[in-house]
A and B are shown apart, each in its own frame.
Chain A
């Protein structure tokens, strides 16, 4: 048996012993997702047990080195773990911006001290992070942001406003873009890390079209951000005034994640499931709707191949560095179409906003939520701009 085969059978056995049956169901609800953090509580004992087993094994962040709370898996092993988890529909034990975004940036740009402290906290789900990039005047044109940090020697005093900060009101720390040099557009931004309980930080939830309030306006009023949190642990990532490099690197990860390229079933075929859904009601799929579903499935199955190809190519350095933008564009547009079709199949039932039948209006709320896919993390238009410029090399793009 090859090493990888024995790793697979060990993994299978470990999952069998450690993943409770309740955690082998698709995520249906915000509650089903565990985000960690200082104020976190578990929805169930099963959720807690699954989370704790994964932390002990390093499986909240399997590909990170063991020293930073990971399991030190190589890419092939990580793929096996992903496959085995998806085979039993295992839920992610922990979801967090720390894992998806800050972690990769720290692994790439962080000091040893920062890695020791922050990566371990993230892996153990102790600190929940939010992302402070967007400002009211600076969305797509992120680099025009104005939030300013005045240099006071051993600390900055930060003033300004962020917007669309997802879960800012529930998070413990923020990774935040702050202008530290007003004269230099790109090389005047610092990527800072600070506690949301620092005096002067306030948040105000924004209600969405889905009725939920997952994100906030975030205000900074004379917030003192230390330049250092101790030996070899700066309060910023990378170099002062060079935070744009970190932000760009990290946006690549964000786009990859939103595109669903890493797996998950957001881009899977839906026709057969929709047929079963209507069968319960004794209904038939309208022939034109069936045709739309079939065309969608063609696109979804083809996109899944693209996701697989993309990951294979990344592993050997063959993928174009701007390819995540294409994946994000195509994947999010597909996911919106998927939910449009699910609404159509559901008919009037899918319009119900708070009935028990719809589990509190899940179909409609989820449908509305997907509209953000092609906005958050960079809009579809911005993705197309990047493809034009960096892949197709079109003039003046």
Chain B
């Protein structure tokens, strides 16, 4: 498959780009909700609009009311989200949770997917149990109890945890913390008793929780996939999330880069446009190269994932690591080349830096994924 968008995808990109630039713009969404200290960190009206355009159900099968499209299409929306720093539950709900629910029973799909597709529901995913992403180790426990389970333990960095109608939780049903087997995924409803969300605002104004589970009683039918056999589903949702957050990261990188290059063409110092100084030109051109290469890795990963290729796992980590480096460079150069105003809250460039920092940490940073590239390559 050629590494560019086909006609349908190009049309979707056009729609997404226009919509996000208008409705998802920084002033209209990110700043608006941030300045009101919104407890969700995003606007529900926008989420409904995204549903009307079909975005929410891109990865949901047609039999479940979605569009039955793939990761290339989800990535198109994510890149525009990234470019406009649009806060929304798209990544956690429409990519991560939707991927998990693909493996769920008809009953669970019927319970949750209509709300996702209509934009009435928001989902979160709870995997991490510490400040760094380490899904190899799952300590959170779910013990059998009656015909259901009792869930205990804690999860960190649960994005939208307090706003979510349902949280996909990875818990241990047997074995010890670092075993591959013995992991089970649960769809935990919002109103389950014994759950406590300690919500915190992050550097990028998004909301995450430290969530504790104290003997949370779950029905047997809350299980997504197989009991003790959840690792495969977990890997699938992580892979989708990695490729998805890489796509969003490319959007962040391009947004920051475009803003910066624009600034180089306007700001005058020493009687010249600063874009005339070769010291800045070369760095801008280097940045451009890195961002283009990262984009190529992302579309390759998306296509491999959609094709169900074995190489998708390796390429997902390549994409996540490469984007982390490229977007990191874009925001750092962005702030620096803006000079003093780059440090002000009034200018958007700093917002890109904050979002990038949060995205880098989400589902594993460049170090985590470079290490994975080494392991998957056998060294």
Q: Which A residues fall within an 8 A CB radius of B?
A: 269, 271-272, 274-275, 285, 290-291, 293-295, 297-299, 301-303, 305-306, 308-310, 312-313, 315-316, 318, 326, 329-330, 381, 383-385, 387-388, 391-397
The CA-CA distance from A315 to B315 in the complex, in Å, is 24
Using A298-B321, A312-B4, A392-B261 as known contacts, say yes or no to A305 and B281 having CB atoms under 8 A apart. no
Contact B373–A384 (Cβ < 8 Å):
no
- Chain B residues with CB under 8 Å of A306's CB are 292-293, 296-297
A313 touches B4 (CB 8 A): yes
Q: Which of A293, A383, A385 contacts B379 (CB 8 A)?
A: A293
Chosen A-B contacts, 29 in total, with CB atoms closer than 8 Å, are A293-B374, A294-B373, A297-B318, A301-B373, A305-B296, A306-B296, A309-B4, A309-B300, A310-B296, A315-B2, A316-B2, A326-B292, A329-B286, A329-B289, A330-B289, A383-B285, A384-B282, A385-B281, A388-B282, A392-B281, A393-B265, A394-B275, A394-B284, A395-B265, A395-B273, A395-B276, A396-B276, A397-B275, A397-B278
User: How far is A391 from B276 in the complex, measured between Cα atoms in Å?
Assistant: 14
Give the CA-CA distance A310 to B2 in the complex, in Å: 10
Q: Which of B4, B272, B278, B374 contacts A297 (CB 8 A)?
A: B374
Near A by CB (< 8 A), chain B positions 288-318 give 288-290, 292-294, 296-297, 299-300, 314-315, 317-318
Residues of A within 8 A of B314 (CB): 301
Contact mask B254-296 → A, CB, 8 Å, 1/0?
0000000100110000001101101001101110111011101
B231 cross-chain contacts in A, Cβ below 8 A: none
B290: chain A residues at CB < 8 Å are 330
B294: A residues at CB distance < 8 A? 302
Say how far B323's CB is from chain A's closest CB, in angstroms. Answer: 9
Contact status of A301 and B315, CB under 8 A, knowing A394-B275, A397-B281? yes
Kindly state whether residue B160 has any CB partner on chain A within 8 Å.
no
The minimal Cβ–Cβ distance linking A259 to chain B, given in whole angstroms, is 11
**Chain B residues, CB < 8 A from A275:** 378-379
How far does the alpha carbon of A387 sit from the alpha carbon of B291 in the complex, in Å? 13
Query: Which residue among A272, A303, A392 has the maximum number of chain B CB atoms within 10 Å of its CB?
Result: A392
| Interface: B370 (CB within 8 A) | yes
Contact of A302 among B2, B4, B318 (CB under 8 A): B318
Q: Which residues of B lie under 8 Å from residue A391 when comparing CB positions?
A: 285, 288
Closest-CB distance, A2 to chain B (whole angstroms): 15
B322 contacts which chain A residues (CB < 8 A)? 298-299, 302
CB distance from A15 to the nearest CB of B (A): 24
B210 contacts the other chain (CB 8 A) = no
* A394–B264 touching, CB < 8 Å: yes
User: B377 on the interface (CB 8 Å rule)?
Assistant: yes
A271 near B374 with CB under 8 A, answer yes
Q: Tell me the chain B residues, 89-144 only, with Cβ under 8 Å from chain A.
A: none
Interface extent on B, as a size class? 35 or more
Asked whether, in the complex, the Cβ of B276 is within 8 Å of the Cβ of A297, the reply is no
CB nearest to A315 among chain B residues:
B2
Q: Hey, which chain A residues are within 8 Å of B4, CB to CB? A: 309, 312-313, 316, 318
B319 within 8 A of A: yes
Residue of A nearest to B379 (CB): A275
Chain A residues near B272: list those with CB within 8 A: 396
C-alpha spacing A395/B226, complex, angstroms: 60
Q: Pick from A303, A316, A384: contact of B281, CB below 8 A.
A: A384
Most A Cβ at <10 Å: residue of B261, B293, B297, B321 = B293
Docked Cα-Cα span, A297 to B318, in Å, equals 8
Q: Are B373 and A298 in contact (CB under 8 A)?
A: yes
CB distance from A228 to the nearest CB of B (A): 43
Q: Does B3 contact A (CB under 8 A)?
A: yes
Residues of A within 8 A of B371 (CB): 291, 294
Across-interface contacts of B261 in A (CB, < 8 A): 392, 394
B369 located at the interface, meaning its Cβ lies under 8 Å from any Cβ of chain A in the complex: yes
Interchain nearest-CB distance for B1 vs A (Å): 9
Which chain A residues lie closer than 8 Å to B319 at the CB level? 302
Our pick among B273, B276, B285 for the contact of A392 (Cβ within 8 Å) is B285
Partner of B300, one of A305, A381, A396: A305
Q: CB distance B288 to A392 under 8 Å?
A: yes
A297 touches B373 (CB 8 A): yes
Which residues between 50 and 106 of chain B lie within 8 Å of chain A, taking CB atoms? none
CA distance A226 to B269 in the complex (A): 54
Contacts A294-B373, A298-B373, A397-B276 given; does A326 touch B288 at CB 8 Å: yes
Establish whether residues A290 and B300, one from each chain, have CB atoms under 8 Å apart when the complex forms: no
Given A269-B377, A306-B292, 14 extra CB contacts under 8 A: A275-B378, A290-B379, A299-B322, A301-B318, A306-B293, A306-B297, A308-B300, A309-B299, A313-B4, A329-B285, A330-B290, A330-B293, A385-B281, A388-B278
Bound-state CA distance A383–B281 (Å) is 11
Interface centre among B290, B325, B371, B373 (most CB of A within 10 A): B373
- B362-379 residues at the A interface, CB under 8 angstroms: 366-367, 369-371, 373-374, 377-379
Residues of A within 8 A of B286 (CB): 329, 384
Which residue, A310, A318, A396, has most C-beta atoms of chain B within 10 A? A396
Q: Which residues of B contact A298 (CB under 8 A)?
A: 317-318, 321-322, 325, 366, 369-370, 373
**Given A285-B379, A293-B379, A394-B265, A387 and B3 touching (CB < 8 A)?**
no
In whole angstroms, how far apart are the Cα atoms of A326 and B319 in the complex? 19
CB-nearest residue of chain A relative to B284? A392
Q: How far is the CB of A20 from chain B (nearest CB, A)?
A: 31
In the complex, per-residue mask of B1-30: 1 if CB is within 8 Å of any chain A CB, else 0 = 011100000000000000000000000000
B285 touches A384 (CB 8 A): yes
Specify which of A271, A295, A302, A394 is in contact with B296 (CB 8 Å cutoff): A302
B265 neighbours in A (Cβ, 8 Å): 393-395
Chain A residues whose C-beta falls within 8 Å of the C-beta of B300 in the assembled complex:
305, 308-309
A310 to B296, CA, bound (A): 9
B361 → A minimal CB distance (Å) = 17
Contact call B378/A272, Cβ cutoff below 8 A? yes
Contact status B281-A388, CB under 8 Å: yes
A294 partner, pick from B284, B299, B374, beta carbons under 8 A:
B374
Contact A309 B296, CB 8 Å, known A297-B373, A387-B285? yes
B 240-264 to A, binary, CB cutoff 8 A, 1 in contact else 0: 0000000000000000000001001
A77 CB, nearest partner CB in chain B, Å: 16
Contact mask B22-46 → A, CB, 8 Å, 1/0?
0000000000000000000000000
Known: A298-B321, A302-B318. A396 touches B273 (CB 8 A): yes
- Complex Cα–Cα for A393 and B265 (A): 9
**A303 CA to B296 CA, complexed, in Å:** 8
